[in-house]
């Protein structure tokens, strides 16, 4: 069971990295934003899986904070990005 959880966490981590690849490559800001949106969700998922696998309930709190702060980052992306800011 534990290995399964860890494997799932690993998989989610890989999707985050795949998203990061998009962030690096771009080419448009929209790609970057979509990829960034992905970290939020995958990050929460990874943290919840790891909380179970490592028996660290405090990681659920981290996931909670992460979910709240991801919204902030996303809103900031949308609202603060100046047109033509590349």
Partner 1 sequence: MSGVTLALDLLLGLSLVWLAWRTLASPTLFGAIVLFIAFGLLMALVWARLDAPDIALAEAAVGAGLTGVLLLAALADLQQGDNLLPVREPLRGWLLQLILALCALGLFTLLTLALLGLPSPPPSLAGQVLPRLDGAGASHPVTAVLLDFRAWDTLLEIAVLLLAVVAAWSLGSHPHPNPRIVGSEVLQGLVRVLLPFAVLSAGYLVWRGGFAPGGAFQAGTVLAAAGILLLLSGLGRPFNGRHWLWRALLASGLFIFTGVALGTLLLGGGALDYPAGLGYGLILAIELGLTLTIGLTFIALYAGEQDAAEERE
Of residues 5-34, those binding partner 1 (CB under 8 A): 6-7, 9-10, 13-14, 16-17, 20, 23-24, 26, 29, 32
Q: Does residue 47 contact residue 21 with C-beta atoms inside 8 Å?
A: no
Sequence length of the chain is: 86
- The binding track of 36-75 with respect to partner 1, each residue x by CB under 8 A or -, is x--x---x--xx--x---x-x-xx-xx-xxx-xxxxxx-x
For residues 47 and 63, is the Cβ–Cβ distance under 8 A? yes
**Inter-axis angle of helices 29-53 and 2-25, nearest 10:** 160
Binding site for partner 1 (CB under 8 A): 2-3, 6-7, 9-10, 13-14, 16-17, 20, 23-24, 26, 29, 32, 35-36, 39, 43, 46-47, 50, 54, 56, 58-59, 61-62, 64-66, 68-73, 75-77, 79-82, 85-86
């Amino acid at each position: 069971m534990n290995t399964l959880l860890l494997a799932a966490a690993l998989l989610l981590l890989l999707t985050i990295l795949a998203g990061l690849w998009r962030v690096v490559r771009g080419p448009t800001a929209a790609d970057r934003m979509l990829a960034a949106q992905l970290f939020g969700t995958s990050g929460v998922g990874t943290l919840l899986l790891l909380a179970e696998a490592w028996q660290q309930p405090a990681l659920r709190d981290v996931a909670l904070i992460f979910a709240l702060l991801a919204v902030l980052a996303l809103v900031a992306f949308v609202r603060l990005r100046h047109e033509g800011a590349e």
